[in-house]
Structure 1
Amino acid sequence: MGARLRVFLTPEQDKILLNLRTVDVPQKVKDRAEAIRLNAHGWYVEKIAAHFKWTSQTVREVLHKWQKLGLDGL
């Protein structure tokens, strides 16, 4: 198991990511946004990976992209 990876969101960022569920964007963008929100709300990488049936590495890549690029990383 790798080191714990945790992102922190401002209330505005959380709202933007939540609103992506209802707009016309690809499903993978919605899933990435939700994975970021789940992590910010305390879910561990492994639990998010199991929820989406992704690898832990995929979750880590999504979180790192968010940290580096923000919304452009989705």
Structure 2
Amino acid sequence: MTIKVVRGNPTPEELAAALTVVRARAAATESEPSGPRPPRDAWSDPSRIAAHRMPHPGPTAWGRTYWPS
């Protein structure tokens, strides 16, 4: 892996910190399983909320709204 500083003049400490972050991210990516993910349960599936289209409000829908006080 090659890292090139394009702009600026980092100190050795700044460069070491940046390399540590890059290496940690690369290690985390390699350790993730690449197989298929387990299926979500129905409770946490966001598509269950939008499974049905909501009806469009009519011209008098504003009178049927309820604002709790």
TM-score (normalised: structure 2): 0.27
* TM-score under structure 1 length normalisation: 0.26
Highest RCO, 1 vs 2 (Cα 8 Å, sep ≥ 6):
1
- Which protein has the larger Cα radius of gyration, Structure 1 or Structure 2? 2
